Amino acid sequence: MNESSQQAGGDAYRVEPSRLAGRVRVSGAKNSALRLLAASVLTPEPVQLSNYPDTLLDAQVQVEMLEALGKRCETDSGRIVIAEGRSPPSRLEYAGRSIRNTLLLLGALTARTGAGSVPLPGGCRLGERKHDLHVLVLESLGARVWEEDGRLCAEAPDGLRGAEIHLPFRSTGATENALLAATLARGDTRIWNPHIRPEIMDLIAMLGTMGAEIEVRGQESIRVRGGARLGGARHAVIPDNVEALTWLIGAVITGGDVEIEGFPFDHLEVPLIHLRESGAHFYRNGDRLIARGGRPYPVDLSTGPYPGINSDMQPLFAVYGACAEGQTRIVDLRFPGRYGYAEELGRMGLDYTVVGDLLQIRGGRRLKGAEVTALDLRAGIALVLAGLTAEGPTRVADAWQVERGYDRFVDKMQRLGGSVARC
């Protein structure tokens, strides 16, 4: 998918002050769906996903990659069926926008075909990292891995073999790639220091349905018994916890009244504690959360591995802090460079400073509408939320970034009374 097609209908949002009220259902998780799509490469049999966020731009990119690998994908509202038209080649030929999930296709291809070659995600070069964990995973399983002409390549002519994989820190992507590759490796694999989080458990659940034998031993390790063949699966994608948090925070900062259906309470225990202690008013009714405004107070938080606050969530808390009277402090030790969105919020009048790994926000002053740019997915949603509370209209350029990860975003926002439209 090229960016011109992504941006059809206007590449910006016009956001005006508005109060969110009504009912909204959480879609399937982007960070789970993409991994499940990659897992379909491991089997020639059909894979069917329900609660599938079919409008996500990143999901559409991944589907196009699967089709380039010989898969036939039929998508309708909330469902996708993936069948195999031909055996996959080892080399992914794809000229569109590359995404981080491409690296998981490398692991799946190498496991199934004995070799793989995929375009590197934009800006990703091995020399820029102290450790490239995807390379570490595949090399541990016996593959030779190298970079060539903007591609990452791997080969294991005799197949992958089970191994002890020691991850130097908890990495979601490395854990996922290790799981995908190890399912078809010969013998047992032990993944030490994995990142156990809801999306990982969702992937493990589907791989189990396909016939993989996987044992999770807490945060210590995962044991995978390699097999010769995996079958098909029918699987429901878990709800998106970042989307759920978005509607909750949006309701609070706009003084709204929102009922959020399919709310993943078990996956958001720590963020919910922070929000309740900082003035958010919400209630549980079965699988629904009812948010009724509240008065935001400043928050102090540090991102960390699950069940802590994920780095994807910190831009949402930054906007929450901007609406609070007093100083909010956010520490993101994993991705401190992610504070770039604060400069865009600064165009709206946010009073902030960045000191090393620390983002300090002095809230309580109403933001003003401005021309801003969505630098990435989570930065984009932070700017939209800020625009709902600002004085005057806000124009958020590169709106397609938001639609990489929010299913039916504009429709859901407008149904809640949010003044957000393409322009």
Cβ neighbours of 17 (radius 10 Å): 18
CA dihedral 181, 186, 192, 195 (to 10 degrees): 30
The CA R_g of the chain, rounded to the nearest whole Å, is: 21
By the 8 A CB rule, do 112 and 41 touch? yes
CA separation for the pair 387, 72 (Å, rounded): 40
Tokens matching residue 327: 């100083």
Spatial distance between the Cα atoms of 351 and 370, rounded to a whole number of angstroms: 15
DSSP string, 7-73: TTT-SEEEEE----EEEEEPPBPHHHHHHHHHHGGG-SS-EEEES--TT-HHHHHHHHHHHHTTEEE
Q: Which of 73, 124, 153, 323 is catalytic?
A: 124
| 124 counts as catalytic | yes
Query: Partners of 21 in the beta sheet?
Result: 257
Looking at 209-287, which runs of residues are DSSP E strands? 213-217, 221-225, 233-236, 257-261, 280-285
Burial of 347-361, coded b for 16+ CB within 10 Å and e otherwise, reads bbbbebeeeebebeb
Peptide bond into 307 cis (omega under 30): yes
* Integer Cα distance of 250 and 265 in angstroms: 17
- Spatial contact of 179 and 289, defined as CB atoms under 8 Å apart: no
Residues 123, 353: Cα–Cα separation, whole Å: 27
Does residue 44 contact residue 87 with C-beta atoms inside 8 Å? yes
- 286 Cβ contact list (under 8 Å, min separation 6): none
The two structure tokens encoding residue 86: 């031909």
Nearest to 197 by CA among 139, 138, 240: 240
| 12-16 sheet: strands from edge to edge | 371-373, 394-397, 12-16, 419-422
Would you name the residues annotated as active-site residues?
A: 124
